[in-house]
Amino acid sequence: MSTPITRLRSLRRGRAIHLLDIENLTGSPLPSTHDVRRVMTAYQRTVPVGPLDQFIVAVNHNALVSVGIALHGVQLLARSGPDGADHALDDAARTARVDLRFERAVIGSGDGYFADLALWLAGRGLHVTVVAQRTCLSWRLYTAVPDTVTFELPAAQAA
């Protein structure tokens, strides 16, 4: 007979939550569908994504349509205002208690705002990885986690 703690551990095993600040990853507050697809191609080449992984992506309300068209099968959050998307990701991770359901957390952003979330997740036993464009990684976030991966987008092709 399994205990509640054993069941929780088995629910977490092998699963990752990907928390994506798509505006930071694309380098734009209003990323186009093409920009999002380009970033996600680079992201998936850089980060292993397992069959049980889940994605939470946050944007401001003005980018909701273009990001929604580009991404399928993700939980898409919209919040506007200063750091609105950042707050939405942070709130979603803490409120949904992702620490109880996932073994790993991947924060797709270089924004220093996420240093506290990274520390909170690590303090609850998750292996935390930060993935960011090389030129967009804040020192505060970089020093908050032991596992950081950077990527560069391929040069845009002329049409």
φ, ψ at 77 (rounded to 5°): -115, 145
Question: Are the CB atoms for 61 and 78 separated by under 8 Å?
Answer: yes
* pLDDT tens string 93-103: 999 999 999 99
Mean pLDDT, all residues of the chain: 90
Instruction: Categorize the per-residue pLDDT at 134 as very low, low, confident or very high, splitting at 50, 70 and 90.
Output: confident
Kindly state whether residue 156 falls inside one of the protein's structural domains.
Answer: no
- Give whole-number Cα distances, 62 to 19, 66, 85, in Å: 19, 9, 11
Do the domain assignments include residue 55?
yes
Q: What pTM did the predictor assign?
A: 0.89
> Is residue 134, in this structure, part of any structural domain at all?
yes
In a domain, 15, yes or no: yes
Note whether residue 158 is domain-resident: no
pLDDT of residue 33: 97
Q: Does 84 map to a domain?
A: yes
- Domain interval for residue 126: 4-151
Flag whether 157 is in a domain. no
DSSP, residue by residue, 126-151: -EEEEEEEGGG--HHHHHH-SEEEEE
Please name which of 83, 151, 149 lies closest in space to residue 116, comparing C-alpha atoms. 83
pLDDT over 60 at 21, yes or no:
yes
CA-CA distance, 111 to 138, in Å (whole number)? 6
Total domain count for the chain?
Answer: 1
159 in a domain, yes or no?
A: no
User: Band of the pLDDT at 155, cuts 50, 70, 90?
Assistant: low
Q: How confident is the model over 40-86, as pLDDT tens digits? A: 999 999 999 999 999 999 999 999 999 999 999 999 999 998 899 99
Which run of H or of E encompasses 39? helix 33-46
Which of 41, 43, 78 is closest to 63 using CA atoms?
78
User: Which CATH number covers residue 72?
Assistant: 3.40.50
pLDDT for residue 122 = 96
Q: Which residue has the tokens 């270089």?
A: 110
For residue 14, pLDDT over 90 is answered with no
What pLDDT score does 13 carry? 84
